[in-house]
Structure 1
C-alpha cells in the first residue's frame, strides 16, 4: 500500500509528459503552417467559360496540386491541454492534415488555426475566425459607392487557417499592397476550376407585347442609305448590322439583351438580388440559398435517358447558343480573375464568388471552401420611358441565326477562317476519318490549327493542336469542334460545286453565295428539326406555337417584313431558358462501325482537350456516337461531369459546378423570379408552393420549400 502514492505520482508525471509532448507537437505544426502566410489559394483550372485567354494547366500546374489531399489523408487529433492559466484549461479539437504542399504555403488543404471554429448547429455553415471577421472588417476595403459586400458568405469562402496579413503597424494589408498577390493577379489558381396537378394561380394576359425591347430610335439617314446600297443588300453583314433597314444596328455585335420581365436587382440598378421573394418565418425577407446548396439539393446526378432524343440534340443546342450569344465576364488586368483570391477582402465589386459547405460530398474531400464566379460585363442602359438606369448584359456575337460560329463576327475573324481560294473555308487534310467514296476529299478535312490556343493545353504538339473557327469556344470540348467541322465541310462542298459550275465567279462571290446556302440550311434545321425535337409534339400542335410564327411554310416563300420587331435575344433565354445542360450525358461516345457498342470517354476528361479528334475516326466517329447514344431526360438532374467536374481536364480531381454557376448567373443578370416569368407568359402568379404544381412535380416542390423557407 505504501507504494501506491509513488505509482500514482509516476502515472501523473507520464500523463503530463505525454500531454506536453503532444501539445508541443501540435503547436509546432500550427506554427509551421503559419510561418509563411503568403496568400496563395488555388481555386480553378480555367475561366468560367473555358475561354482561349485562360493560362495552360499543363505547363503551370504544380506537382503538389496534382496530388490533392483526400479525406483519408486527414487526421483528427483531440488533445486536452492543461496548465496553470485559465486559458489553457480547455480541450481543443484540431484538424491536422498530412501536408501535400510545401510547409508554409497557404492553400485550401491547410490546417486551421486554433481560433477557427465551426458554427453551432443550425447556423450558417462557415468558418468564423475570431477578431478577424467582425462585421466592419471590410469597411475600409470596399470600393467607393459599394456600401455592402455582395458576397454575403465571404468568411465561409476563406481557406482553412487563413488570417489576413498585417503591416508593421498592425493594420490589415489590402490585396493590392501584397506583392505576392499582385504578382499572381494574371495567373489563375489551379486546384479548383477556374410535372401536373392542381394549381392555385391567377391568369394574366399573353405576353409577347410585354417584352422589354430596345427603344425605337430610328437610325440616321446616312446609315439607312448605306444599308440600302446594292452591295450591302446582296449579302448579310458579318457584324449583324443592316439586317433591319430602319433600325440598322439592331441585332449587331455588342448590343444588349432584351428582357421578358423587368430586371430584379436589390438596389434597382445593378446589385445582384440577395433576398428571396419568399419571407422567412419572422416575416422578413430571407436570404437566397447558396447556389451550390441549390445544386446539391435539386440534382443528385441521377441519369434518366431521354425517351426519344439522342445526344446530338443538346450539343446542337449548344452550337445554336454559341451562335446567338456570348456574354463576356469581368477580367482583371486583361486576365480571367480568380475571385476567391482577388476578392478575399471584397474589394473587387465585379466578383460574386460563393462558399462551399464544409460537409460538401465532393469538394470537402479536397478542402475547397470557395467557388469561383465573376460577374458578366455590362452596359448601363437608360429606360426608354424614364430616367431609370439599370445594368444590362450584352453579347459579343450577333443576335441573329447567321452561323457566326463558323464565319466569325467581323472582317478579321472572317479572313482568319477562310482559304481565300474558290470561296472555301480554311482546312487541313487528316486521313483518319471515316472514308466516304462519294466525297472522299471532303471527309478528310478538319478545322485549321491554332497552335497557341490556351484553352486546350493538352494539344501543344503540332499534330494535336487546337482548332481555329469563327467562335473561340470551339476548343471547349471535342464534340462542339466536331459539329463545327460538319458545317465547315458542308460550306466547302457547296463552294466547290458553285466554283465548278461557275468558273468565272470570284472567290468572294463564291464564298458569299455558299454562305447564303449554309445559313439557310442551318436555319431550316433549327426550326424544322431541332425545335420539334426539343419541345415535343404537344407543344408543336399548340395554338401558342402557331401564333408565335415558329412553323415553317412548306408551300411558299415567306416575304413578310416587320421592322418594328425586336430581334435581340432575351436575357432570360441566355441565362436560364436555353441552358440545356440536363440533357448532356456524362460520356462522349465514339462509334466506328454500324455494329457493335460505342466507345465511351468521360466528358470531364476532354474539356479543352482535342486528342480524340486526332485518333482513328476523328470527328466522324464522334458524330456517329452522338446519333446512337440517347440524351438524358429534361428534368432537374444534371450529370456529375457537369456538377463538380466542369473544365477539370485530365490533371485536376475536381472542376466547377455548372448548375450552381447557372443559379448565380441568374442573380448576376437580375433575372425576374419564376413567378415573374409565369406572369409574363400568361400563367399567372403562384400564391403558394402548392400553386407551382401545374409545371413542377410534387417532390421538387418539397425540395424548393426546404430551400426557400
Structure 2
C-alpha cells in the first residue's frame, strides 16, 4: 500500500503566537478561565514539550483525515507510511530531543546535591522522578478508543449499559454544599489544608494544552461546546447566571497536554505494532525536594536566585516588606492577571508573585506558605555563611536548599501524612524507613495527582480569617470569602502581611470532609471569580480531568488496592454511612463500577484516626513510600546528612519555621493540631529547633593549592572524594564551562587550571530553536532576544511574532502546511 504514497515531500510547521494571551489582551478584570490558564501555564521547557507533542498530535490528525478521504475508510497513517517517514515527522515535531536520556554529571557533587530537574537521582533510570516527564500509570488507562479519547467523550458509548453522568450534574446533586452548611474539623487546624495544597504543588503540575483553539479548524474553546482537541467542554444542563459567554450550555475545559511519544502518535517512537496510550506530563520533579521554593528547571531556578549575593540568597521583593521581612518577588509576566486593590492610586499595581511553582498566587494562604519558605531559605543561608565564612555562595545556596528540602520531607511524612491516612494505613503502606531502594520508581502517578491527593479540596474552608496578636478577630481585617482572596497578593501586602493570616490558619479549624458536604460554593460556583464576569467549578474540573486522563473507574482502583469490589447498591452502603449519598450516586451512575474514582474515594467512610477512606489511604500511602524509598537524596539515607545533622533536623517543625520567619510569638507545638489560645499554644522560646553548628566546617586552606580561582558568571563548591580535596565548578544559567569541571589538589598544586564560563549562543540551537520561525533570534550575554519586524508584533512570551497569519480573535494560531502526494491527489491542509 505504501507504493501509493511515494513520499511525504514537505512538512512545514510554523508557530504563530503559540501561547495564552493574558491580562493585557483583556481590559479590566480577568475571567476565571483566564486565571486558570495563567495558573496552569507551564514554564518554558514544559511549554516547548507540550507544544511539540501537540504539533505531533495535530500532524497525525491531519494525516488520518486525508488518508480517510482518499481511501474512504479509517486507516492509521502508520498503516501506509514508512517507518523512516514517520520518524521524520516525529523529528520535525520537536518531540525527539525530549525523549533522549539526560546527561548525568560524573563529578564529586553527583552524590552531594540533587539536580534541579530531579534527573539522575536513579543512576539506572535517570528520568525517574525528573521534571517534564510523563506521570506514572499504576493501571492501564481507560480511554474510549484505547489510545487517547477521554471517558465520556462519545455519548453513544455505554458503561455497564448506561452513559456516564455529566460532571456538572454530579457536582450539583452530590458534591456541592453551601458556605453556611460546612462542618468544622474538631482535630485539625486550617493550616493542614494549606500544607496539603502546598506539598501537592511541590510534586505535581500537569500543564493543560497551551492551545486556546481546536487544532483542526481553529475554533475558540471558550466559544464552542463542541468536543474537539484540545477542547473537552463541560456540558451543563441548566444555564449558569454568571456565565462568561451568555447562552452557552457548557463550561470551557482544556485537555492536559500529552507527553511526547504517547497517544495517537506514540506509535511513531517505537515498535510500529505497539500502541502507547496518551500520557500526561508532570512539569515538576516528583520528589519532595522543595521545588516550590527553587523551581524544577535551571531557567526557573536562575530567575529565583540572587546571583549577586555572597550568601547564596534567593531573590526577594525590592518594593514591599512585611515589617522588615521579605516578600516573594513579582512575576516577570507583566502585566499579570492578579486582582488589584480598588482603592490603590492610579498606576500602582501589585503583580502576581513569582516562586518555584507558578500557582503561588492562587490564594493568599498558599502565597503565605511560599513566602514563609523563601524567608527560611534566606535565614538559613545567612546563618550558614556566618558559621562557614569560607563557603562560596554556591555552597551556601546548595546547603540551605538541602536543609529546606529535608524539612519539607520531615514535616510531610512525620507530621502530615499520618494524620491523613491514619496510623494503620501508614504502617501498612509506608512503614519504617529501611534505606534507598533503587528499584522503586518515585515518579508521581496519574491516579495520585489527578484523584487521590485532590481529597484536600473537600477540606477547604469558604471563609478566610485574620487574627491579631491575641488570636482575636481584628476589626481592621474582617473575614473574607474565599473568592475574595483568589489571585490577590495585594491583600497580603496591604492588609497586615503574613502574621494575621497565619494566626487565622493556626487557630481555626479546617473544614471536615463530610459525605454530603464535599466542596463549598466558593469552589463549585465562584472558583477564581474576581467579579461577576464568569464561573468555574472545581469539582467538575476534577471529574472532567480524571476522564481526560483516562483514569479507570472506582472499582478498578479498589481491586488494585486489594479492596472488595462493590457490585450493588447494598455493597456501596457498606462503605458509605450516609445512605442518602449512595442513593444519589446510584441514581446518576447506576453501577458502582461507573463511579469516577475521585468521587468514590471522597465519599468513603474514614479509616480510624484518618481523614481519608481506604482507597485514598492506599493510593496516598503507596505514593509516599515511593517518594521516600525511591529518592537517593532522602534525608534519612546514608551519607546525605551526618548523624549529628539528622539529630538536629528531627527537632525542627513547621511551628519553628513560623517562629523564625514571622512576628508571631506563640504557636501550637504541632501546627496541624487544632488548639485553643492560650492554653494549647507555646511561646516560641519553648519550640525546639535545629542547631546549625552541626553544619560547621573547620576549614584549613590547602597549604599547597591555596584558595581556588573564582570564575566570572560561575562558582565552585568544595567536595572531598577518595580522601582528596576537590572543587567542582559550575556556570550560571546561559553559560557553559570551558575547561576542567573538577580540580583536585595534588602535591604539585591544583591538577588543572580553573575553567571559564562562556556565553551559550542559544540562537545556534537548531534542534530546539528558542524563537519561533517568525522572529529573528539575537544572542545576548547569558540569554537571547527574539525580534520581530513590521507588520508583526512580538507576543507576550517574547519568542513569537503575531501577524496576519493569525486571526486576531485567536489566542493561539498554528499554521500547519502539508504538501504531499496521495496517489494522484495533491493535498494541502491549512
TM-score by length of 1: 0.63
C-alpha deviation, 1:661, in angstroms: 0.7
Between stretches 267-276 and 356-365, larger displacement belongs to 356-365
Between the aligned partners of 1:341 and 1:473, the Cα distance in structure 2 is 22
Task: Determine if the alignment matches structure 1 residue 372 to structure 2 residue 261.
Answer: no
User: Equivalences for 1:55-454 in 2 at 5 Å?
Assistant: 145=64, 223=103, 226-274=104-152, 285-301=161-177, 302-332=181-211, 340-344=221-225, 346=227, 348-358=228-238, 367=247, 369-379=249-259, 380-381=261-262, 387-420=274-307, 421=309, 422-428=311-317, 433=322, 444-450=325-331, 452-454=334-336
Task: Determine if the alignment matches structure 1 residue 505 to structure 2 residue 391.
Answer: yes
Q: Secondary structure at the match of 1:472?
A: coil
Question: What's 1:495 paired with?
Answer: 381
Question: What's 2:438 paired with?
Answer: 563
C-alpha deviation, 1:512, in angstroms: 0.3
Question: What's 1:577 paired with?
Answer: 452
Question: What's 1:46 paired with?
Answer: 34
C-alpha deviation, 1:453, in angstroms: 5.0
The one of 576, 584, 587 aligned to 1:706: 587
Question: What's 1:458 paired with?
Answer: 340
C-alpha deviation, 1:368, in angstroms: 5.1
Task: Determine if the alignment matches structure 1 residue 687 to structure 2 residue 567.
Answer: yes
Instruction: Name the CA shift for 1:570/1:53 in 2 (closer, same or farther; >3 Å).
Output: closer
| Maintained 8 Å contact 2:35/2:337 | no
Cα-Cα RMSD: 3.4
Instruction: Name the CA shift for 1:376/1:396 in 2 (closer, same or farther; >3 Å).
Output: same
Q: Secondary structure at the match of 2:144?
A: coil
The one of 447, 452, 463 aligned to 1:587: 463
Q: Secondary structure at the match of 2:465?
A: strand
Between the aligned partners of 1:565 and 1:300, the Cα distance in structure 2 is 39
Between the aligned partners of 1:681 and 1:530, the Cα distance in structure 2 is 22
| Maintained 8 Å contact 2:243/2:535 | no
| Maintained 8 Å contact 1:339/1:374 | no
Between the aligned partners of 2:532 and 2:37, the Cα distance in structure 1 is 17
C-alpha deviation, 1:545, in angstroms: 2.3
Q: Secondary structure at the match of 1:307?
A: strand
C-alpha deviation, 1:403, in angstroms: 0.7
Between the aligned partners of 1:645 and 1:314, the Cα distance in structure 2 is 19
Instruction: Name the CA shift for 1:607/1:601 in 2 (closer, same or farther; >3 Å).
Output: same
| Maintained 8 Å contact 1:50/1:608 | no
Task: Determine if the alignment matches structure 1 residue 481 to structure 2 residue 367.
Answer: yes
Between the aligned partners of 2:155 and 2:186, the Cα distance in structure 1 is 35
| Maintained 8 Å contact 1:455/1:476 | no
C-alpha deviation, 1:304, in angstroms: 1.2
Between the aligned partners of 1:339 and 1:684, the Cα distance in structure 2 is 44
Deviation per CA, 1:590-624: give whole Å up to 9, x if none: 11222422631111122122121112420221111
Between the aligned partners of 2:154 and 2:568, the Cα distance in structure 1 is 14
Instruction: Name the CA shift for 1:365/1:465 in 2 (closer, same or farther; >3 Å).
Output: closer
Between the aligned partners of 1:530 and 1:453, the Cα distance in structure 2 is 37
| Maintained 8 Å contact 2:214/2:220 | no
Deviation per CA, 1:621-671: give whole Å up to 9, x if none: 11111111211112342111000111111x225420000111111100000
C-alpha deviation, 1:324, in angstroms: 0.8
Between the aligned partners of 1:306 and 1:701, the Cα distance in structure 2 is 23
Instruction: Name the CA shift for 1:323/1:668 in 2 (closer, same or farther; >3 Å).
Output: same
C-alpha deviation, 1:321, in angstroms: 0.9
Instruction: Name the CA shift for 1:671/1:705 in 2 (closer, same or farther; >3 Å).
Output: same
Deviation per CA, 1:234-269: give whole Å up to 9, x if none: 211000011112211211111111123221111111
Deviation per CA, 1:256-294: give whole Å up to 9, x if none: 1112322111111111112899998xx972111111000
Question: What's 2:509 paired with?
Answer: 630
Task: Determine if the alignment matches structure 1 residue 517 to structure 2 residue 403.
Answer: yes
Between the aligned partners of 2:495 and 2:545, the Cα distance in structure 1 is 39
The one of 661, 674, 696 aligned to 2:554: 674
Task: Determine if the alignment matches structure 1 residue 472 to structure 2 residue 358.
Answer: yes
| Maintained 8 Å contact 2:31/2:529 | no
Deviation per CA, 1:407-438: give whole Å up to 9, x if none: 011222112111221111111367864x6xxx
Q: Which structure: larger Rg?
A: 1
Instruction: Name the CA shift for 1:318/1:521 in 2 (closer, same or farther; >3 Å).
Output: same
TM-score by length of 2: 0.54
| Alignment gaps of 5+ in structure 1 | 1-41, 55-141, 148-217, 436-440
| Maintained 8 Å contact 1:276/1:285 | no
Q: Secondary structure at the match of 2:580?
A: helix
Deviation per CA, 1:485-508: give whole Å up to 9, x if none: 110111111111101111121111
Question: What's 1:211 paired with?
Answer: none
Between stretches 423-432 and 474-483, larger displacement belongs to 423-432
Q: Secondary structure at the match of 1:320?
A: helix
C-alpha deviation, 1:584, in angstroms: 0.4
Q: Secondary structure at the match of 1:656?
A: coil
Between the aligned partners of 2:214 and 2:293, the Cα distance in structure 1 is 26
Instruction: Name the CA shift for 1:279/1:45 in 2 (closer, same or farther; >3 Å).
Output: closer
C-alpha deviation, 1:143, in angstroms: 6.5
Q: Secondary structure at the match of 1:450?
A: coil
Between the aligned partners of 2:357 and 2:389, the Cα distance in structure 1 is 31
Between the aligned partners of 2:537 and 2:219, the Cα distance in structure 1 is 15
Between the aligned partners of 2:543 and 2:63, the Cα distance in structure 1 is 28
Between the aligned partners of 2:428 and 2:357, the Cα distance in structure 1 is 33
Instruction: Name the CA shift for 1:257/1:316 in 2 (closer, same or farther; >3 Å).
Output: same
| Alignment gaps of 5+ in structure 2 | 1-29, 43-60, 67-98, 591-830
Q: Secondary structure at the match of 1:287?
A: coil
Between the aligned partners of 1:708 and 1:303, the Cα distance in structure 2 is 25
Instruction: Name the CA shift for 1:699/1:44 in 2 (closer, same or farther; >3 Å).
Output: same
Between the aligned partners of 2:569 and 2:186, the Cα distance in structure 1 is 29
Instruction: Name the CA shift for 1:493/1:515 in 2 (closer, same or farther; >3 Å).
Output: same
| Maintained 8 Å contact 2:207/2:283 | yes
Between the aligned partners of 2:165 and 2:135, the Cα distance in structure 1 is 27
Between the aligned partners of 1:704 and 1:276, the Cα distance in structure 2 is 22
Between the aligned partners of 1:279 and 1:335, the Cα distance in structure 2 is 23
